[in-house]
Amino acid sequence: MTQRENKLGTMPVGRLLMTMAIPMMISFFIQALYNIVDSMFVARISENSLTAVSLAFPMQSIMGAIGVGTGVGLSASLPKTIAQKKYDHAEALTNTGIFLCLCYIVFFAVLGITFTGPFYRFQTDVPEIIEAGTTYLSIVWIVCAGAFFGTYFEKMLTSTGNATMAMISQASGAVFNIIFDPLLIFGIGPFPKMGIAGAAIATVLGQILAAGIALWFNHNRNEWVSLSLQKIFHPSGKAAKEIYTVGIPSMITMGLTSMSSFFVNQIFLQYSTTATAVYGVWMKLQNFCYMPSFGMNNGMVPILSYNRGTKRYDRVWKTIRYGLSIILSLMLVLTVILEFSPAWILKMFSASDSMMAIGMTALRFALISLVFGGTCIILTSSMQALGHPQYTLIVNVLRGFILPVSFFFLLSIAFHGLSNLWIAIPAADIAACIISVYLFFRMKKDLEKEQLN
């Protein structure tokens, strides 16, 4: 590894943040666009197929939670290690993370073979939903190598300042996905008509492509990491502990969000499967709207970690101020635009009259949450990168599970009507935002004391 200082500690903060965040925003935007386009094509098969994919979303998210959590753990640890010039430990971190991903791949392949059928039969007795969902989720889980390695190698690139390379790899996989979705679902040209299985196959092939490109970039262009087949199969316990210290709160956060979606779906299923399909649309739309926040988050974390490692707190606070200001502005603009567009959004998903009636009310309530949710994402990622993962965990457990499930449950008892349930979405994010602001200022006070010492 080179002995020169990484640009994370030298480039002016505003330019550095844009250099790191904009490529990631573009990458996440394309990823989120794929998720929406995928659901649009699946909706053209049937509303039951869209419901099947919506019910699969929590289980896909659990897989994503583990992969992203491991990557976040690396992103928070690797820049600080490089800043302190502990290059042997940096090598141990990167290779240990690859070993952990191999373990995840085996575990989810087994789940894909054994668990998907019972999972769907537990939730519904509609044969079309059970058959379509089992097919879709089985493929996504069994062929999950691209999902785990794609996320991990992308985080390896961003955590060393190579955000553009990460964008290229992730965007390549997503574009492949968008192109091959309709070809494999509907059997266009020489491709066979595969229905919902085609959507799943396009997904896993896109993930494998993204992982392959990211691996090539890390092996050939990333001067800050060293990949060793021998060290992958001799993982470091110390490195694994360091990755999981920061990564487990992220895993719990995303995992609880998945469980929240599962329980909320059970509440909606008491009213209709159409309500579940609408909630699935909102989850995809929400994910799309938060892409700027996730991109900014991914750009900020390496900068914060590196500059905390060199004790340059002026760069730390400036990075957070810039990031939060940009995201608040973007979320406000998105909210205003989308509040005037719920009918147009629902039509993209081939909404029936029933789905349109439910969805108009749902989206207008849910969109109120974007500004508050975006604030939570920036503040919690900052607390995680700056050595306070316990604060991040508190906010994310509340926001990802306890608050939304509680609000949905209480409103379902209080009103016995579907339209009022959607108030739970903004209510949960407003409460979580208030708590995250309080904990952020507690962390800031702790770090100011650390700086004086």
Which two three-digit tokens encode residue 192?
Answer: 């066979």
Give the model confidence (pLDDT) of 103-123 as tens digits.
Answer: 999 999 999 999 999 989 988
Q: Give the three-class secondary structure for 160.
A: coil
Helices (H), 84-225: 87-114, 116-123, 127-142, 145-158, 163-186, 196-220
Q: C-alpha distances in angstroms, 187 versus 131, 137, 353?
A: 20, 20, 28
The CA distance from 227 to 222, in Å, is: 10
State residue 453's pLDDT score. Answer: 64
DSSP 386: T
pLDDT at residue number 125: 84
The pLDDT value given to residue 227: 82
What value does the mean pLDDT of the chain take? 87
- What are the φ and ψ backbone dihedral angles of 286, each rounded to 5 degrees? -60, -45
Between the CA atoms of 32, 33, 36 and 37, what dihedral angle is there, to the nearest 10 degrees? -140
What residues contact residue 283 under an 8 Å CB cut-off, 6+ apart? 54, 57, 261
Considering just the CA atoms, what is the radius of gyration of the chain in Å?
Answer: 21
Instruction: Specify the DSSP class assigned to residue 423.
Output: G
Residues 1-34 pLDDT 10s: 445 566 777 788 788 888 888 887 887 777 777 7
- Structure tokens, 356: 């349109």
CA dist., res. 375 & res. 435, Å (int): 11
Q: What is the C-alpha to C-alpha distance for residues 424 and 422, in angstroms, rounded to an integer?
A: 5
Phi-psi region of 311 (alpha: psi -120 to 50; beta: other; left: phi over 0): left
444 residue type, one letter: K
Whether residue 244 has pLDDT greater than 60: yes
Note the pLDDT of residue 5. 61
- Give the length of the chain: 453
90, 236 Cβ separation under 8 angstroms: no
Per residue in 328-355, pLDDT tens?
999 999 999 999 888 888 888 888 888 8
Nearest to 30 by CA among 214, 187, 200, 179: 179
CA nearest to 217, candidates 173, 175, 251: 173
- DSSP-derived letter for residue 5 is P
Contacts for 266 with CB less than 8 Å, ≥ 6 apart? 123
Q: Do the beta carbons of residue 332 and residue 412 sit within 8 Å?
A: no
Residues in contact with 47: Cβ distance below 8 Å, sequence separation at least 6, in sequence order? 273, 274, 277, 350, 352, 355
In 115-162, which residue ranges form alpha helices assigned H by DSSP?
Answer: 116-123, 127-142, 145-158
Convert the pLDDT of each residue in 377-423 to its tens digit.
999 988 988 888 889 889 988 998 999 999 999 999 888 778 889 99
Dump pLDDT digits (tens) for 291-325: 888 888 878 888 888 888 778 888 889 999 999 99
Cβ count near 135 (within 10 Å): 20
262-278 confidence digits (pLDDT tens):
889 888 888 888 888 88
CA dist 409 and 267 (Å) reads: 7
Percentage of residues of the chain with pLDDT beyond 70: 98
Of residues 239 and 79, the one with the higher pLDDT is 239
Is the model more confident about 142 or about 35?
142
Collapsed DSSP state (helix, strand, coil) of residue 435: helix
Which pLDDT belongs to residue 3? 52
**Amino acid type, 117:** G
